[in-house]
C-alpha cells in the first residue's frame, strides 16, 4: 500500500500515510475475531468499530469495510481498489518466498504464475482475487506482481523474507 501510494505521489493527492496505515490495520482484528459470520464482532467489524471510536479517518474505515466483500461495500476509491489488489497477492508472495532458499530475492512473476496454477499451494489464497486485483487498478498483471515483489523485498528485514540463506 505504501509503495503504491508513493508511486503515484506527488502527482496525485494520495495520502501515503493514510494508505500505509490502512494497509497495516486492515486485518488487525483477524486473529481474535476470524469469524466473518459473526455480524457483531467478526473481522473486520471489530477493527472498524475501534477505529471509529478513535476518530480515525472515515476513508480508512470504509476501505477496511470494502476489502471484506461479504460486507457489501464495493471498493471504489483508488485506495480501496489498491487494498483489494494487493491483499491476497501479498499473502501469496510471502508464501512463495517462504518455500524458496533465497526468500523473496529473485522471485519473478513467471514463477509466481506457475505457483498460482498449483491448486494445493497456498490453497487458502483466492486465485480469482489475485488475478482480478491487477484489473481493479488497471495495471498489467506481470507488472503488478513485479511491483508488489519489489515492495515486499524493500521490507524484507521486517517481514523476514530473506530466506534460509540469511539464517
Ligand atoms: Fe481481511
Using the mean position of ligand 1's atoms as its centre, give its distance from the Cα of residue 67 in Å. Answer: 6
Using the mean position of ligand 1's atoms as its centre, give its distance from the Cα of residue 167 in Å. Answer: 30
Output 166 or 120, whichever has higher pLDDT: 120
State the pLDDT at residue 166. Answer: 56
Are 102 and 153 spatial neighbours (Cβ–Cβ below 8 Å)? no
Residue 122 region by backbone torsions, left for phi larger than 0, else alpha for psi between -120 and 50, else beta: left
Using the mean position of ligand 1's atoms as its centre, give its distance from the Cα of residue 49 in Å. Answer: 15
Write the CB contacts of 96 (distance below 8 Å, at least 6 apart in sequence): 107, 111, 112, 115, 122
Tens-place pLDDT, residues 88-126 = 999 999 999 999 999 999 999 999 999 999 999 999 999
Q: Grid coordinates in use for 114? A: 506457475
Is 9 a residue whose pLDDT tops 70?
A: no
Using the mean position of ligand 1's atoms as its centre, give its distance from the Cα of residue 43 in Å. Answer: 7
Please give the model's pTM, rounded to 2 decimal places.
Answer: 0.93
Amino acid at each position: 500500500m505504501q509503495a503504491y501510494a508513493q508511486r503515484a505521489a506527488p502527482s496525485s493527492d494520495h495520502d501515503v500515510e493514510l494508505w500505509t496505515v490502512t494497509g497495516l490495520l486492515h486485518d488487525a482484528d483477524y486473529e481474535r475475531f476470524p469469524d466473518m459470520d459473526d455480524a457483531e464482532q467478526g473481522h473486520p467489524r471489530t477493527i472498524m468499530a475501534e477505529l471509529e471510536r478513535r476518530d480515525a479517518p472515515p476513508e480508512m474505515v470504509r476501505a477496511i469495510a470494502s476489502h471484506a466483500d461479504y460486507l457489501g461495500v464495493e471498493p471504489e476509491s483508488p485506495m480501496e481498489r489498491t487494498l483489494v489488489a494487493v491483499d491476497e497477492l501479498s499473502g501469496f508472495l510471502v508464501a512463495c518466498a517462504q518455500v524458496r532458499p533465497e526468500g523473496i530475492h529473485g522471485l519473478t512473476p513467471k514463477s509466481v504464475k506457475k505457483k498460482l496454477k498449483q491448486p494445493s499451494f497456498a490453497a487458502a489464497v483466492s486465485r480469482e482475487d489475485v488475478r482480478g486485483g491487477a484489473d481493479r487498478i488497471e495495471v498489467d498483471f506481470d507488472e503488478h506482481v513485479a511491483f508488489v515483489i519489489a515492495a515486499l523485498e524493500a521490507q524484507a528485514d521486517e517481514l523476514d523474507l530473506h530466506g534460509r540463506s540469511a539464517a
